[in-house]
């Protein structure tokens, strides 16, 4: 955004409604500033107070041990996240309060109270133990959005077995790679899950993945879709194992830095990285942000629409809300099944108070038309959140007006898998909202926009977004690859964590995120490395070379645009084009399927052999999406441009 449009957006700052402010935890900017300053200047005091949100088995001794770029927080403390999400609520008047309210896509509903969830988690923790899982062993969870997915996560946390949740939309290949990278011993899955009226056959993908792995000793299968299937020697039914399990399982006393989970995310190189989060710092970040950013109160029904396969599903479907004793609604299926008002129907029927979703969903709803929204009574809503990519001001205004009826504050939340929890947001009720800006830094977050030399740039100037000091919920490493961790995040700008995003900060201190500045795409709020898609394409026998770039997309934010050269003797055809799309779906998952594949005779390269991505992005931007997909792009005519690019 240039200076004048930034100024225009600033003039559109929207004050939160007085009714909301009256009960807000942080009442105004002055209070926010005071707390924020304290969080940076007196971290011992700030985090000391905040850490009382956690029930500790043993108090921590030292706030931070920082041997750049390796941090340890709350050193010497002992705790258990599952205990904090369950036992302490079971021992309180929340005992019979709903912890999870689940709705399946076909319409079934299940409510689990804290006491019931606690019991299921204890039982499943015993199942894991009886299958040989010990503290530190990795467990892969490849599940639809059903209560058993949450039960499995909390059971892992209970016994100190780090989980790695694999998004149910990922392919068998992706499952295999993730299992191999972290050496998972057990896979928890389901026969299938519902998505847009279809059954996604998860167990089949696990079966296809396992021959390429060597560490898995057991597959535990939840019967969700009632598919007719016989289990192999390595497999057990979840319900059979659970029937035999005791419901007594003490929560392990774990070190503050005990690994809680590994979550894979795309980077700018081919292989997804296993982001490692540990116990105390991550959990405190989840608790504190859920409390302040979502203003979560005991009587609220809270719904985050993210899948647990993403970090949003970890922090804001499971750990933050349950940690605070809140009620988390989970929905299994698609937003437009059977009709485009499914989300609003859920909001109305369950009387959802807090609703958190992604800009790509908001833009899809806009496109489907206001009538689907207006059909429903949404008066229960009191706060709306957005996450995943920059929200364009039009979508923001639509969300604010049509869904929130100008009553609910909209909190945009900028963060990443690596940050564990919210880093930038407009605390609801505390500060004006600026449609399109992610807002102000959260407590403890020392954020800056810098130039290539690492110097902070003046207001309203674009640059790289960095974090200048460690924060409690930060990633601790890339699983098994500390060198890559250092190189990827801590070597770009001296002494700083580099986010990979571009941003500018305005004169009010608000951050405007402009998007990734590395070779990572953001497709419908999902991170996708261009290199990952390229290597999937070249793994097809017909492909010689591939280059993938993003193309602006009205709904998804970015679409995947691929340029491909074929091997000698291969003729590019419409069928091959379709086959390559399917192949990428098989290699990575449906979200990575290129929207467009263009065949080219050669890929435009600089003399030093680097693919001219800027040029390809320009061609993609002007490219007709539905043109003849077999036409060869003629890059020869572009030779003169090569010079400029060098
Ligand atoms: C990348 C992180 C964090 C949960 C979801 C995605 C982009 C995310 C915003 C936002 C502008 C955003 C950034 C970031 N992003 N939220 N509110 N405004 N950009 O997690 O897959 O780790 O992706 O998503 O580019 O770096 P992720």
Question: Are the C-beta atoms of 542 and 276 separated by less than 8 Å?
Answer: no
Q: What is the largest CA-CA distance in the chain?
A: 73
Check pLDDT > 80 for residue 462: yes
Residues 396 and 68: their CA atoms lie apart, in Å, by 38
Q: Which protein residue's CA is at the shortest distance from atom 1 of ligand 1?
A: 416
> What's the pLDDT score for residue 295?
96
Per residue in 505-540, pLDDT tens?
A: 999 999 999 999 988 999 999 999 999 999 999 999
Sequence-separated (6 or more) residues with CB below 8 Å from residue 578 = none
188 to 123, 146, 239, 264, 490: CA distances (angstroms): 14, 12, 12, 17, 34
- The CB of 414 under 6 Å from ligand 1? The reply is yes
- The CB of 520 under 6 Å from ligand 1? The reply is no
User: Sorting pLDDT into bands at 50, 70 and 90, what band is 619?
Assistant: confident
Q: Which protein residue's CA is at the shortest distance from atom 14 of ligand 1?
A: 416
- The CB of 501 under 6 Å from ligand 1? The reply is yes
Residues 337 and 621: their CA atoms lie apart, in Å, by 32
Q: Which atom of ligand 1 is nearest to the CA of 526?
A: 21
What's the gap in Å between 316 CA and the centre of ligand 1?
A: 14
> What's the pLDDT score for residue 602?
86
Per residue in 23-46, pLDDT tens?
A: 889 999 999 999 999 999 999 999
- The CB of 242 under 6 Å from ligand 1? The reply is no
Question: Are the C-beta atoms of 155 and 125 separated by less than 8 Å?
Answer: yes
- The CB of 131 under 6 Å from ligand 1? The reply is no
Q: Is 630 left (phi over 0), alpha (psi -120 to 50) or beta?
A: alpha
Q: Is 365 left (phi over 0), alpha (psi -120 to 50) or beta?
A: alpha
- Count of Cβ atoms closer than 10 Å to residue 377 Cβ: 12
* DSSP result, 341-357: THHHHHHHHHT-SEEEE
Which domains, and CATH codes, for the chain?
A: 110-249 (3.40.50.980), 542-643 (3.30.300.30)
> Residue by residue, what is the 3-state secondary structure of 420-482?
CCCCEECCCCCCCECCCCCEEECCCCCEEEECCCCCECCCCCCEEEEECCCCCCCCCEECCCH
- The CB of 390 under 6 Å from ligand 1? The reply is yes
Question: Are the C-beta atoms of 332 and 144 separated by less than 8 Å?
Answer: yes
- What is the pTM (predicted TM-score) of this model? 0.93
Residues 272 and 294: their CA atoms lie apart, in Å, by 30
Cis, bond preceding 577 (omega within 30 deg of 0): no
Per residue in 252-262, pLDDT tens?
A: 999 999 999 99
Question: Are the C-beta atoms of 127 and 220 separated by less than 8 Å?
Answer: yes
What's the gap in Å between 414 CA and the centre of ligand 1?
A: 6
Sequence-separated (6 or more) residues with CB below 8 Å from residue 235 = 218, 219, 220, 221
User: Sorting pLDDT into bands at 50, 70 and 90, what band is 634?
Assistant: low
What's the gap in Å between 274 CA and the centre of ligand 1?
A: 17
What's the gap in Å between 604 CA and the centre of ligand 1?
A: 30
257 to 70, 76, 81, 281, 326: CA distances (angstroms): 11, 9, 12, 8, 25
Q: Which protein residue's CA is at the shortest distance from atom 3 of ligand 1?
A: 416
């Amino acid at each position: 955004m240039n200076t004048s449009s930034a100024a225009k957006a600033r003039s559109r700052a929207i004050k939160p409604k007085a009714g909301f402010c009256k009960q807000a935890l942080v009442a105004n900017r002055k209070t926010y500033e005071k707390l924020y300053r304290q969080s940076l200047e007196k971290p011992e005091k700030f985090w000391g107070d905040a850490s009382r949100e956690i029930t500790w088995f043993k108090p921590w001794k030292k706030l931070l041990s920082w041997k750049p770029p390796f941090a340890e927080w709350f050193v010497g403390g002992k705790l258990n996240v599952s205990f904090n999400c369950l036992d302490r609520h079971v021992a309180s008047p929340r005992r019979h309060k709903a912890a999870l309210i689940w709705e399946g896509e076909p319409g079934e509903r299940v409510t689990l109270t804290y006491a019931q969830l606690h019991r299921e988690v204890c039982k499943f923790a015993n199942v894991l133990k009886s299958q040989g899982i010990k503290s530190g062993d990795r467990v892969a969870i490849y599940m639809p959005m059903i209560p058993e997915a949450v039960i499995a996560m909390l059971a892992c946390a209970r016994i100190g077995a780090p989980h790695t949740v694999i998004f149910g939309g990922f392919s068998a290949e992706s499952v295999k790679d993730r299992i191999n990278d972290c050496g998972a011993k057990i896979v928890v899955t389901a026969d299938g899950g519902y998505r847009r009226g279809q059954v996604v056959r998860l167990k089949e993908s696990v079966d296809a993945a396992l021959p390429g792995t060597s560490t898995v000793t057991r597959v535990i299968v939840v019967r969700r879709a009632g598919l007719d299937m016989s289990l192999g020697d390595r497999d057990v039914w979840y319900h059979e194992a659970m029937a035999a399990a005791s419901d007594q399982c003490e929560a392990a006393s774990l070190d503050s830095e005990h690994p809680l989970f590994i979550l894979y995310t795309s980077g700018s190189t081919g292989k997804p990285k296993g982001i490692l989060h540990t116990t105390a710092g991550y959990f405190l970040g989840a608790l504190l942000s859920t409390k302040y950013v979502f203003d979560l109160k005991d009587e609220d029904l809270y719904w985050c629409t993210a899948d647990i396969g993403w970090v949003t599903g970890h922090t804001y479907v499971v750990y933050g809300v349950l940690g605070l004793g809140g009620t988390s609604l989970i929905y299994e299926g698609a937003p437009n099944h059977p009709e485009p008002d499914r989300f609003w129907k859920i909001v109305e029927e369950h009387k959802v108070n807090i609703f958190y979703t992604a800009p790509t969903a908001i833009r899809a709803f806009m496109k489907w038309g206001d009538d689907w929204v207006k059909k429903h009574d949404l008066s229960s809503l009191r706060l709306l959140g957005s996450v995943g990519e920059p929200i364009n001001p039009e979508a923001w205004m639509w969300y604010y007006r049509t869904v929130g009826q100008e009553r609910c504050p909209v909190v945009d939340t900028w963060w990443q898998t690596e940050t564990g929890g919210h880093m930038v947001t407009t605390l609801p009720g505390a500060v004006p909202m600026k449609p399109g800006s992610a807002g102000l830094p959260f407590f403890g977050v020392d954020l800056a926009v810098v130039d290539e030399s690492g110097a902070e740039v003046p207001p309203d100037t674009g640059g790289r977004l960095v974090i200048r000091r460690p924060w409690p919920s930060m990633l601790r490493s890339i699983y098994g690859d500390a060198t890559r961790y250092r190189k990827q995040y801590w070597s770009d700008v001296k002494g700083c964590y580099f986010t990979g995003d571009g941003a500018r900060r305005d004169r009010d201190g608000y951050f405007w995120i402009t998007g990734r500045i590395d070779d990572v795409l953001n497709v419908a709020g999902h991170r996708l490395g261009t290199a990952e898609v390229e290597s999937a394409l070249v793994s097809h026998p017909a492909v010689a070379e591939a280059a993938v770039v993003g193309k602006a997309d009205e709904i998804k934010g970015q679409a995947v645009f691929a340029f491909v050269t074929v091997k000698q003797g291969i003729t590019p055809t419409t069928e091959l084009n379709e086959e390559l799309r399917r192949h990428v779906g098989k290699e990575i998952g449906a979200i990575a399927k290129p929207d467009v594949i263009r065949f080219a005779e050669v890929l435009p390269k600089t003399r030093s052999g680097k693919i001219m991505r800027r040029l390809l992005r320009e061609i993609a931007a002007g490219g007709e999406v539905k043109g003849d997909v077999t036409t060869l792009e003629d890059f020869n005519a572009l030779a003169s441009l090569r010079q400029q690019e060098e």
